Every structure is written in structure tokens, then in C-alpha cells.
Amino acid sequence: MKEKKKIIRNVEKSIQKYRFYIQSAFALLCVWIGIQFYLFTRFLESNGTAPFYNRPPGVDGFLPISSMMSFYYFISTGQIIHSHPAGLFIFAAIVLLSLVFGKAFCSWLCPVGFLSELIGDFGEKIFKGKIKIPKWLDYPLRSLKYLMLGFLFYAVFALMDIIAVRAFLESSYNQVADLKMYYFFADISRTSLIILASLFILSIIIRNFWCRYLCPYGALLGLVSFLSPNKIKRNPISCIDCGLCAKACPSKIKVDKVLTVISDECNSCLSCVDACPVADTLDLKSIYTKKKISKRIVAIGVVSIFIVVTGIGMMTGNWQNNITKKEYLVHYKLMDSYGHPTGTAAVKDFNKKSNLNEISNENKTTTNNNYDKK
Ligand code: SF4
Ligand code: SF4
């Protein structure tokens, strides 16, 4: 007969309430940024006659592609392009966060992740539980976000050299990318509305539909999270195989069947740790020191990393962009004519033109210098 294990009850308090507070605070911050940005657009729409409101730099956080390219440019050259400098620091904070705590940004800070969770909770109430997607459908769908990320990587890292990356970051299109994004939602087309409504409905039926299958940002953070030394670890000796951890996992990870959770879908929400009824059986631990990382440290750490890295951007004067009111008024009138290269041929062409422009600018500087000498 199987010997019954002696159970020491897990009496640690759940962290989920605090995770909800942090998510709510961050979502409110995003709403505040949205209101400020709306007031800023009113100034542009009135051709400068309405009161001027500063553009909130935090809006750069909603430009992940531009921010990623800015980060790449900074890593490669040590220079900051001042079209959307806040985006660089927000992106760096999120990557650092993923290196330390795995994909924690998705479950602790991301407003889209928070909204997905709320919609998912609503769906579970309607359908009285989680809807299971068969593996044959789940795996190919999960690969979609990697396909999108792969194309983005190919376009930026394989088709563009660093001169073209800078040309893109300094282009008029990138300078108004935030305005274009705003008007995409403010003047939403019928097709886009249908797509958004479909995503909403799918998120009710399938929990985290957007995050699990389509978000390329989540795909990137999932890859970075593999490098994190801190993972959810299960102690098989004290584990009573109740399966509550797997049941609580919103990412459908079989936590009860593994010793260490190594998954691009784990977003460090700690729901499994909270669900475990046995003390010291399921915890976030460093794979090197084997030491347990308390849930409170995760909550404080996530918020602190974000505040410190973005704070460095603010304190070093690299938070606000360098686009003047006058330039914005001109951009506003012309922005419908601004485009970006789409498709591999267009990206290659953009790369070639950027290099030709660079050479002609260099020639001009040399000629001017020669004239100066004369
Ligand atoms: S494994 Fe645990 S921490 Fe990771 S997503 Fe599932 S419940 Fe959250
Ligand atoms: S919740 Fe998971 S780790 Fe904890 S005892 Fe049950 S099966 Fe084991």
C-alpha cells in the first residue's frame, strides 16, 4: 500500500490580490497617458489655436517595433535617437524584467495582458470553466506569433544595416508613428473594427487568445525568458500530486508533471504557487542558488525594475523627444503622405536608398569642409 505523505499546509498568503492592484495601477497610468495624448492631438487638430498639452512620452511604450529598433541601434552604436527615446527605456526595462523574472511583464504590467485576463475571467463565468483547445490546433496557432516576430527580425536584422535603421528611426513616418496609431483607433475603419471585435469574442471563448497566439512582443519576451535563472520549481518529495497547480495555470502548463517549468508560455503570474496546498513544494527559485524567491520580492522587483530603468531615461534627459510644436503642426498636415516600407523588396530598397543618402551627405560634408579650408 502506498504510504501517505505527511502534509505541512501552505499558509503563505496569495499574491494575486497585489498582482491585480499593480495591473490596475499600470492600466490607469496608460489611460492617463491616453487622455494626455488626446489633448495633445486637439492642439494639432486646431492648427495650434487650442491650448497646448505636452505629448506624454509614455506613449512611446505603445510603439514596440520602433522601440526595439531604437534599442538595437543603441546597443550597436551607443547612441540614442531622439524621435521616441522613452520607448528605448521602456523596452530595455521590459527586456531586463524578462531576464530576471521571466515573462513577468505580461502578467504584472501589460495593459493588454490585464484586459485579456479580465475578458478570460468573464468567459470562464459564461462557459462555467476553461475551454480546452486540442493540441493539434493549439501548437500551430502558438507558432503564429513567432512567425510574425521572425519576419520582423528578418526585416530589421537581415535586410537593414545600421544606417537604414537610423534612417527609419529618424524618418518622418517614425516621428509620427504615435499619431498614426492614435488615429488608427480614433478613426477606426470598419475592417479594423470587425478584426478587434473578433479578437474580443475569441478572447472570451479562448483565454488569452491574443497573448497566446498573436502577440509578437510576448513571443520575444518568451524567448528572453528562457535566459532567466529564476524558474518555478516543484519538489517531487513533498508534492501530493493533487494537480491544483496545473488547474490554476492560465497558460495550461502541466506544472504537476515537471520539476522545473521551462516554457515560453509561463508568464510568472505565480497562480500555481498560490494554488499549491503544501508548504515549500512549489516556488519560484534560482536555478543556481536553489534559493526560494518570495512572492513579495517578485512584486516589488517587477515594479522596481520598471521604475528604475525608465527613471534613468527621465533623469538623463532622454525621455522627451526632440520634435518641436512647429514641426508637429507641419507633420500633422502631411502625415497621411508618410509611409513605411512593406514587404522584403521595399525594405531592401529602403536600405539601398538610406546608404546612398548617407554617401551623398558625407560627400556634401567633405565638399563643405574643402570650401571652408579654401
Ligand atoms: S506555470 Fe505558474 S507562474 Fe507560470 S503561467 Fe502557469 S501559473 Fe503562472
Ligand atoms: S499543487 Fe502541484 S506542486 Fe503542489 S502538491 Fe499539488 S500537484 Fe504538487
The response to whether residue 354 sits with its C-beta less than 6 Å from ligand 1 reads no
Q: Residue 91's closest CA among 110, 64, 111, 115?
A: 64
Q: Please give the angle made by the CA atoms of 156, 160 and 163, to the nearest 5 degrees.
A: 120
Given a cut of 60, is residue 258 above it in pLDDT? yes
pLDDT of residue 254: 96
Given a cut of 50, is residue 371 above it in pLDDT? no
Our mutation pick for probing the ligand 2 site, out of 242, 283, 292, counting the most ligand atoms within 8 A of Cβ, is: 242
- Cβ of 352: how many Cβ atoms within 10 Å? 11
pLDDT of residue 20: 98
Given a cut of 80, is residue 332 above it in pLDDT? yes
pLDDT of residue 74: 97
User: Tens digits of per-residue pLDDT, 269-327?
Assistant: 999 999 999 999 999 999 999 999 999 999 999 999 999 999 999 999 999 998 999 99
| Ligand 1 atom closest to the CA of 268, numbered from 1 | 3
pLDDT of residue 364: 61
pLDDT of residue 374: 38
User: Tens digits of per-residue pLDDT, 208-251?
Assistant: 999 999 999 999 999 999 999 999 999 999 999 999 999 999 99
Given a cut of 70, is residue 5 above it in pLDDT? no
**DSSP assignment of 247-264:** HH-TT---GGG-SB---T
Average pLDDT over residues 196-218: 95
Q: Are 85 and 59 in contact (CB under 8 A)?
A: no
pLDDT of residue 72: 96
User: Tens digits of per-residue pLDDT, 115-136?
Assistant: 999 999 999 999 887 788 899 9
The response to whether residue 282 sits with its C-beta less than 6 Å from ligand 2 reads yes
The response to whether residue 276 sits with its C-beta less than 6 Å from ligand 1 reads no
Given a cut of 90, is residue 338 above it in pLDDT? no
pLDDT of residue 97: 96
Name the band, by pLDDT with cuts 50, 70 and 90, for residue 369.
very low
Q: Write the residue with the smallest CA distance to atom 7 of ligand 1.
A: 249
The DSSP 8-state label assigned to residue 278 in this structure reads: B
The response to whether residue 236 sits with its C-beta less than 6 Å from ligand 2 reads no
Given a cut of 70, is residue 142 above it in pLDDT? yes
The response to whether residue 243 sits with its C-beta less than 6 Å from ligand 2 reads yes
The response to whether residue 273 sits with its C-beta less than 6 Å from ligand 2 reads no
Please give the C-alpha separations between residue 119 and each of 23, 24, 210, 212, 216, in angstroms, as whole numbers: 14, 14, 11, 14, 20
**Low-confidence winner among 47-61, 96-110, 325-339, 359-373 (lowest mean pLDDT):** 359-373
Average pLDDT over residues 352-369: 67
Our mutation pick for probing the ligand 1 site, out of 110, 208, 261, counting the most ligand atoms within 8 A of Cβ, is: 261
| Ligand 2 atom closest to the CA of 240, numbered from 1 | 5
Q: Write the residue with the smallest CA distance to atom 1 of ligand 1.
A: 266
Q: Residue 6's closest CA among 230, 259, 237?
A: 237
User: Tens digits of per-residue pLDDT, 28-38?
Assistant: 999 999 999 99
- Specify the pairing of strand 292-293 against strand 282-286: antiparallel
* C-alpha span between 51 and 345 (Å, rounded): 44
The response to whether residue 269 sits with its C-beta less than 6 Å from ligand 1 reads yes
**Secondary structure of residue 221 in the 3-state scheme:** helix
Average pLDDT over residues 172-181: 94
Given a cut of 60, is residue 368 above it in pLDDT? no
The response to whether residue 261 sits with its C-beta less than 6 Å from ligand 1 reads yes
Please give the C-alpha separations between residue 64 and each of 55, 67, 87, in angstroms, as whole numbers: 18, 5, 7
Our mutation pick for probing the ligand 1 site, out of 251, 256, 283, 293, counting the most ligand atoms within 8 A of Cβ, is: 251
* C-alpha span between 180 and 191 (Å, rounded): 17
Kindly state the percentage of the chain with pLDDT values over 90: 80
> Which residue spans within 235-353 are E strands per DSSP?
282-286, 292-293
Our mutation pick for probing the ligand 2 site, out of 256, 284, 285, counting the most ligand atoms within 8 A of Cβ, is: 256
- Which has more confidence, 346 or 317? 317
- Average pLDDT value over all residues in the chain: 92
Describe the crossing of helices 295-315 and 85-101 by its angle, rounded to 10 degrees.
Answer: 160
